[in-house]
């Protein structure tokens, strides 16, 4: 009788992907609650802040179908690096932009970065790569 081998769960890619996801989400969940406080102190109105925070989720959600198709052709690690860089640059924009200017410049790309990184990690960590 042939012996079946089971795929190993704790591979190098899986562990590094989990660490990357944990680190990214940890930082991101520190960023999101403090962003409204920061913007309100700079003079933004509550409605503006709500639109800004909502745009993160909308931009991340809007990109998902396109990212899924692109992940079939592009290596996952490239998506993960691009997502981390895009989110870091978008967050860095707050240092130089007036209170509500980051909306088109910051949170749209930040949401795209979240989509890139998390989709890359989910695809990398899946057993079949799909």
Q: Which of 38, 9, 43 is nearest to 106 (CA)?
A: 38
Instruction: Supply the pLDDT for residue 11.
Output: 81
Instruction: Kindly report, residue by residue over 11-60, the tens digit of the pLDDT.
Output: 887 788 788 888 888 877 887 888 888 888 888 888 888 887 887 778 77
Q: Which of 67, 49, 22, 40 is nearest to 103 (CA)?
A: 49
Structure tokens at 27: 């930082």
Rounded to two decimals, the pTM is 0.64
Instruction: Supply the pLDDT for residue 9.
Output: 74
Instruction: Supply the pLDDT for residue 42.
Output: 80
Q: Quote the CA–CA distance of 50 and 36 in Å, as a whole number.
A: 8
Q: Which long-range contacts (C-beta less than 8 Å, at least 24 apart) are formed by 106-109?
A: 107/52, 107/53, 107/55, 107/56, 107/59, 108/55, 108/59, 109/59
Looking at the predicted structure, is the pLDDT value of residue 130 above 50? no
Share of the chain above pLDDT 70, in %: 80
């Amino acid at each position: 009788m042939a012996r079946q081998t089971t795929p190993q769960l704790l591979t190098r890619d899986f562990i590094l992907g989990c660490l990357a996801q944990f680190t990214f989400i940890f930082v991101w969940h520190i960023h999101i609650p403090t962003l409204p406080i920061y913007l309100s102190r700079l003079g933004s109105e509550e409605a503006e802040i709500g639109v800004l925070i909502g745009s993160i989720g909308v931009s991340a959600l809007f990109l998902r179908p396109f990212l899924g198709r692109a992940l079939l052709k592009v290596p996952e690690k490239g998506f993960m690096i691009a997502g981390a860089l895009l989110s870091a640059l978008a967050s860095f924009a707050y240092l130089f932009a007036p209170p509500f200017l980051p909306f088109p410049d910051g949170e749209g790309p930040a949401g795209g970065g979240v989509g890139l990184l998390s989709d890359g990690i989910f695809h990398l960590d899946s057993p079949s790569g799909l």
